[in-house]
Amino acid sequence: MLACSRCNQTYPEAEPRWRCECGAYLLLQSDRMFSRDSLNHRPPTLWRYHEALGIERSESTVSLGEGFTPLIPDSLFGQPVLLKLDFLNPTGSFKDRGSAVMISKLKEWGVTEIVEDSSGNAGASVAAYARRAGMTARIFVPAYTSAGKTAQIRMYGANLVKVPGSREDTTQAALEAASRTFYASHNWSPWFVVGLKTLAYEICEQRNWQAPDWVVAPVGGGSLVLGLYLGFRDLLRTGFISRMPRIAAVQAAACAPVYHAWKQRLDDVPAVAKQESAAEGIVIARPVKGRSILEAIYDSEGVVLTVAEDEIWATARTLAEKGIYVEPTAAAAPAAVRQLAELGLAGPGSSVVVALTGMGLKATDKFIEHLGTDDGEAVQP
Ligand SMILES: *Cc1c(COP(=O)(O)O)cnc(C)c1O
Ligand SMILES: [Zn+2]
């Protein structure tokens, strides 16, 4: 069943809804789980864990082969790490995990028309899966969104609406449109979070069911951090792993509401005034699921770290020089590995998994601006 995060109201999973009648967000409560022994012969996609994903009929499944991305050893700032290349999902970001499950559930409900708002990647991901499921999608994005992402959304055949002003203005515009169709919001949908639990399952399966010491992940709306935490909790409950990994959630210093709330040990995340950041995908002044994000961090004995704009760009370069091209938003988490090591939270013997969330090609326009207009060496005619 779906349970309200505030008022204890519950709803059946078969009922199309995206929030509680009281206005708060819902989370799936379920103890269905896959069995470890059945995994060996299954295809390398996130649907190998389908028993835990709450999709009732296999014909509802909308898939592009998402999940099971590489986990590769490397080192950052002298710290050994395992890089989870989750930008290698079908639309170029980890959001495909959430979209695949959310859109499958919407298909099961018989929804044919949806509205979503996004800083770009969720919009592209939802547009792709909606189209594959035969749904019509209207995607609202802030006017500042990278051209790579808006072109991608339009190519998938979605109706793109650019909203001037802030990320919050975009949500408002989408909500107004959603009063006439279904609001398939990655920030609200409990099913989107269910899809992100597969990242935790996968990291542990790829490490032979050894939980890592740390998982470092960016936090914006918080579906990723919450999905990781809930996924690890499933694995703990079933005894597949024996301890909870610590979560290091990373924000851009320019917009760090979760950091400020965590510093003050609050139980919800108040809005902050924010500045612009190259990490456009995590610039969220007030995450909807603030309560659950903080709970995930406290309960995992985690930390919240912030990184400056120059660290984000420098880390994008460092990764690119290793052959790994991620967008600036996805460079924030690896940038924070420096602090994790400097603060003594991780050391040479620690296992540190870093989630790399979005592909560099998404932000080509931002990289061109960063590099300057010089387009490399030209051959003289
Ligand atoms: C959406 C996004 C994030 C933030 O994920 P949340 O689940 O909203 O916290 C991080 N990196 C990239 C590339 C994203 O697209
Ligand atoms: Zn409620």
If one residue of 69, 97, 329, 362 were mutated to test the ligand 1 pocket, choosing by the most ligand atoms within 8 A of its CB, it would be: 329
Q: How much of the chain exceeds pLDDT 90, in percent?
A: 89
| Whether residues 236 and 223 fall in one domain | yes
- 287 lies in the same domain as 221: yes
pLDDT at 354: 99
Within a domain: 30: no
What number does the ligand 1 atom closest to the CA of 222 have?
9
Distance CA 295, CA 82 (A): 25
End-to-end Cα, the chain, rounded Å: 68
- Asked whether 221 lines ligand 1 (CB < 6 A), one says yes
Same domain, yes or no: 86 and 146? no
Average pLDDT of the chain to the nearest whole number = 95
Quote the pLDDT of residue 375. Answer: 66
CA distances 127 to 53, 100, 113, 122, 247, Å, are 21, 11, 11, 8, 30
Mean pLDDT of 161-168: 90
Q: Using a 6 Å cutoff on CB, does residue 123 contact ligand 1?
A: no
Strand (E) or helix (H) holding 115:
strand 113-117
For residue 108, the enclosing domain spans 95-183
- Ligand 1 pocket residue status of 93, Cβ below 6 Å: yes
Q: What is the mean pLDDT of residues 159-164?
A: 95
Please give the pLDDT value at position 381. 66
Average pLDDT over residues 63-90: 98
Are 223 and 355 part of one and the same domain?
Answer: yes
Residues 132 and 205 in one domain: no
Residues 99, 82 share a domain: no
| CATH number reported for the structural domain that contains residue 175 in this entry | 3.40.50.1100
Q: Which of 238, 6, 202, 258 is nearest to 89 (CA)?
A: 202
- 234 pLDDT higher than 90: yes
Q: Is residue 15 part of a domain?
A: no
Question: In this structure, is residue 83 part of a structural domain?
Answer: yes
| Among 183, 214, 236, residue at a domain's last position | 183
Q: Per-residue pLDDT tens for 276-300?
A: 899 989 999 999 999 999 999 999 9
**pLDDT greater at residue 45 or residue 57:** 45
Q: 166 and 217 share a domain? A: no
Give the pLDDT score at 374.
64
Tell whether the model's pLDDT for residue 324 goes beyond 90: yes
44 within a domain of the structure (yes/no): no
Model confidence pLDDT, tens digit, residues 341-363:
999 999 999 999 999 999 999 99
**Contact predicate 48/31, CB 8 Å:** no
What is the pLDDT averaged over residues 1-11? Answer: 95
Mean pLDDT of 237-243: 97
Q: Which of 128, 155, 183 is the last residue of a domain?
A: 183
Residues 252 and 345 in one domain: yes
**Considering its fold, how many domains does the chain have in total?**
2
Could you tell me if 116 and 201 lie in one domain?
Answer: no
